[in-house]
Chain A
Amino acid sequence: MPTKWISRKDLKKLPDQWLKQYDVYAPIQNGHELAFQLVKESAQIVWDVPSNPRYPAKSLFLPQSEVLMSYDGILHSVEKVERPKVLFGLHPCDARAIRLLDHALVDEQNPDEYWKSKRQSTIIVSTACISPDESCFCTAVGGSPFNTADSDALIVEVEDEFCVYVLTEKGGVLFSKLPDAEDAQREKVEKLTKKVEAGMPKAFPKKKLHDNLLASFETDFWKEVSQSCLGCGVCTFLCPSCFCFDIADETVRKERVRNWDSCMFRTYSLEASGHNPRPTKMERTRQRVMHKFVYWVDLVGEIGCTGCGRCVKYCPVNIDIRAIAQDALHREFEGMKK
């Protein structure tokens, strides 16, 4: 796939051209915060985003509340033709999370049509993370701030110019008119990549982490870790790769909706009988961490956390999933294979 080159001035005009055919979603200032929202003109877009907008981009594919169907004596399915979309300006960690969610939601026999239709109609153009935040750790979980694996195109800023890696045909459509990058320019990008990655945390040993966490399952380690947890849903709601949902009937307006749910809530695992298999915060915190670092690895072969740092940054009591993983790596648990 070709590598293109574009000046800052020209790049800032590009979204205006896309707007004719696509709905463009990009980080824009929304009050005090940044958010991925529908762009009206490219001047709105915040270009240099050091940290991730707090509300994750998964909401564009798996909205926090989504109407599945309505009923009014008879059932009406909600059929909507998705407009073609460009999701622009997310970091590679978020792009990776969206691909991970494909594993969870697009099963071959039984795909989630709501997710699939939105996903297929979207071109993902990510921007490389030049100055990662102090809460970022994508390199620790197998990603990179310059990861090209999961987007349709990746834009890297180098010395006030931009290098565009076109990664799929879908992404190529947006950048077809640009000139190819020269070798000297590519070298600059490679140098920058090395420099930024050098400042990031080292990768967790995936297998060891997996085994250590499994061995820790019944130990008091989790009690220690979860002691300060409040049990709110911040970490999971802001997580780009958490996808649990709850289906509810809104009887007043006669709709069946699906809402994000969180394994950190007490009611998440509460059964109708009143029994709760995860009765305390300990089991719930364990579930969140184990899901990311053990169950995802078992099922897909990849760590389910993408290192975006949102849960680290916005947790009200500073429960740090990086620290939990590090801690688990350096401890000896009973029954652990030497």
Chain B
Amino acid sequence: MTQKKPLIVLFQCQYCLASSLDQYWVEQELPENVKRVKVPCSGRIDPLYILNAIQGGADGIMVCGCMPEKCHYKEGNLHARRTLNEFRNFLNTLGYPQERFVFHWMNIDERGVIQPLLASFEERLKRSKDRPRLANRMLNQENG
């Protein structure tokens, strides 16, 4: 039996992946184990989104945003970087593995990077040791 592929949630800022080929790939040919959440700007990604994805069963989280000074909204990516980095740190401090949560800040003219990035992330997730997971939204225990 083949190993189950890790479930990845990709948060994608709508302004990165500008090339039509990349955009076509993420929209049409994304592998089944990758779920894409398109956001207007990486600054829109609230830690709650990440928490929800993890608790909903995601094995890995990838956040794609624009390079500094390339943000369509001037400072959205700076905000994202500050808060999400700290959030990742915080989860790590509480014992949840931070390697399950990666960022990629890409340049607007980058081409064809998203495919290999996702592939290598998937590889790393497969290899990563089993460390504590955030509690899934699982069946309720009565009288908790």
Contacts and interface: CB of A to CB of B under 8 A. Distances in A.
Interface in A37-68: 59-60, 63-67
B138 interface: yes
A330 B86 CA distance: 56
Determine which residue in B55, B56, B143 has the highest number of CB atoms from chain A within 10 A of its CB, and name it.
B143
Contacts, number: 26
B143 A63 contact: yes
Nearest to A37: B143
A252 B55 CA distance: 9
Interface residues of A, number: 12
B137 A252 contact: yes
B140 A67 contact: yes
Nearest to A25: B143
B143 A252 contact: no
Interface in A245-285: 250, 252-253, 255, 257
B140 A65 contact: yes
Nearest to A251: B137
B116 interface: no
A253 B143 contact: no
A50 B139 CA distance: 36
Contacts of B140: 65-67, 250, 253, 255, 257
Interface of A: 59-60, 63-67, 250, 252-253, 255, 257
Given A65-B142, A253-B137, A253-B138, 10 more contacts: A65-B140, A65-B144, A67-B139, A67-B140, A250-B137, A252-B55, A253-B139, A253-B140, A255-B139, A257-B140
Interface of B: 55-56, 137-140, 142-144
Closest A-B pairs by Cβ, 5 of them: A252-B137, A253-B137, A63-B142, A63-B143, A67-B140
